[in-house]
Amino acid sequence: MTRDEFETLVADALDQIPPKLAAMMDNVAIFVEDEPDPASPDLLGLYEGTPLTERGEWYAGVLPDRIIIYMGPTLRYCETHEQITDEVRTTVIHEVAHHFGFDDHELHELGWS
């Protein structure tokens, strides 16, 4: 799979977020990178930033949060195009949920781990 095809899957997954939720996303940028830090070679996605639930009056003039979807580990983890599509969707939703303040334990309970 090419990088352009993978980025299209990420964009498609973002388009599946309900419009009311998408409109609530604030100061966050989404990136596709080839590989995560070597210390976490199997990481499929990462959220870096301050979740919406933790932002207060002090939150102003900060750089955007980052959601990173890693292409390499995703392609190694999945065997078919359908599996890649499903995993990208799951990973995008998982990382967007972190932006909304859900932690890994809550996401696991909801089936999004």
Divide the 113 residues of the chain into consecutive groups of 10 and give the mean pLDDT of each group. 97 94 92 97 96 86 94 97 97 93 80 66
User: Given this model, what pLDDT does residue 71 score?
Assistant: 98
Q: Are 69 and 86 in contact, with CB atoms under 8 Å apart?
A: no
Is the pTM higher than 0.85? yes
Strands in the chain per DSSP E: 28-33, 45-48, 65-70
pLDDT value of position 113:
63
What's the confidence (pLDDT) of residue 112?
65
Residue 106 to residue 19: CA distance in whole angstroms: 23
CA distance 4 to 59: 34
Let me know: does 98 contact 47? Beta carbons within 8 Å. Answer: yes
* CA distances for 38 relative to 34, 35, 42, angstroms: 12, 8, 9
Q: What number of residues does the chain have?
A: 113
pLDDT score recorded for residue 106: 81
